[in-house]
Structure 1
Amino acid sequence: MRSSCLRDLSVALVLLVSGAYSALTYAHAITAVTEELPPYNMTIDGKLTGMGTEVVEAVLEELGETARIQSMPWARAYDIALNTENVLIYSIARTPQREALFKWVGVIAPTRWYLFSLPGMHFNLKSLEDAKQYQIATVKEDVGEQYLISNGFAVGRNLQSSNKYEHNYQKLKAGRVDLWISNELNAHYLVRQGSGNPNEAAVPQLSLDDLGGTNGLCLAFSRKTSDERVEQFRQALARVRADGRYDAIAAKWLK
C-alpha cells in the first residue's frame, strides 16, 4: 500500500514539474508580428514569405527557436509589440521617435524612402513644405506617416491613412491622392504588380534621406523581453550575416 502511494506521489510530482516547465516554456515563447509589405513581407499562396521573413526564419533556425509569425495591419502589429512580452516585430524602421520603445536586434533589409507619384506625373518639390499643398497617401502608424506628422502634416488635412500599402497605390491610380510616401522597393513592386508591366516603376518626386534610410529595416523586440533573449538574437543575426546566408537571401529578393 505504501509503495503504491509513493508511486502515485512520484507520478504526481513528475506531472507537476512537467506542467510547470511547459507553462514556463509557453510564457517565454516568441510571437513574431509583421505586415504585408512586399517584397519584404508578403503572403503568397497562403504562405508568409519575402526578404525580411526569410532573414527572420534564418535567425530562428540558427537559434533552434520556433515562433508563430503573424501578418496583420501595421497599426495592430505595432500596438502588440509595444505592449506585450516576448514579441518580435519586423520589418520596422529604426527612428529617434521609436528608439526607446523597442529593443533593437539589427538591420535585416535595406530601404530608401520617397514621396512617389505615378508615371507621367511631375511635381516640382524642393522640400517637404512644398508637399503640404497635396494629398498624400500613408499607412496608419507606419514610419512614413509618423515622419510626416512630426513635420507638420495631419491625417484628414493633407494625409489620407490606410491599413495596407496596396490601398495607397489604388488611391493613387484612382486620383484620390497626389502623392504616396513609401520605401523604394515596396513602391516599385506594387506598381509593377498593379500595372502588369515589369518595367514600370513609381516615380520618386522627393527623397526623404532623413527618414532612417541609412539604417534599413530592422528586427526588434518589445520592451517586455529579457535583455538576454535580445542579445541571443543579435548574435544569431550576426552569424547569419557572416556566413553568407544573408547575402544569399538578399540576392534572391533585391533584383
Structure 2
Amino acid sequence: MMKKIIHKSEERGGADHGWLNAKHSFSFAQYFDPNKIQFGALRVLNDDIIAPSMGFGTHPHDNMEIITIPLSGVLKHRDSMHNEWQEVKPGEVQIMSAGKGLQHSEINGSATEELKLFQIWIMPNQKEVEPRYGQAHFKAEDRDNKLQTLVTGFSNNNSESLKIHQDAIVSRIDLDENKSFIYNLTDERNGVYTLIISGTTEIEDTVLENRDAIGISEASSFKINTKTKTELLFIEVPMF
C-alpha cells in the first residue's frame, strides 16, 4: 500500500543569519527533527536565499552527492578540483561528488541581487570515489507539461542528464492549470520526494501549495492534478 508523508512549507526548519535565509526540509546544521532525518537516500533539501556578495567560505565535504539548482541570481563556485571561480546560473544544474574528500566555496556572484537556490544532498552508493564536478544547462521549455530529467545515476542510460553515484533521478516539470500528470517510478523499491516549487496542485488527494512537499513510497506511480500553473521538483531515491 502506498505510503505518504506530508511536509508543509511552514513546518520546515529555518535559519536566518542575515546574509543567509535558509529553509531545511530535513535536519541540518542547528535544526534537528528526529522525524525528518532523511527520505531514503535523500539527506538534505535546503531552500536558500543568499544576500549579495555573501556566501559560504571554503569548507570540506566527503562521501555525498551534492546537487545545486539556482532559481535566480548567479552562483559562483570554486573547489579543490578547480582554481577558478565558476558561474552557475538559473537554468543550469551543478553536481559535485565529494567522494574521498574535497574543499569548496560558494558565494553570491552579484553585488546587488539576491541568490536563490535549492541544494540537495543524496547519500552515495559508493564511498571514497574520486571527487568529480559536473554542470549543464536545461531549457525551461523542455519541461513545459513534460518531465525533464536533470540528474541520474551512472547505471541510467539517459545521456542528457548529469550523473551521480546513486540510482536516483532528479527531475522537474512545469504544468499548466487544470493539467493531469502521472509520475511513474523507475523502481518500486524507490520513493519520490516531490516539492511544489510554486503553484497549487493535488497529489493523491492532498492539496499542496508553494514549497509544500510530499514523499511517496511503496507505489509504482502517482497522479498529479494542478489547480493553478505549477512547477514541481521530483527527487526519486532508493528507500532504505
Give the TM-score range, shorter chain. under 0.3
Q: Which of the two has greater helix per residue?
A: 1
Higher relative contact order (CA 8 A, sep 6+): 1
> When the two structures are superposed, what TM-score results if normalisation uses the length of structure 1?
0.25
> When the two structures are superposed, what TM-score results if normalisation uses the length of structure 2?
0.26
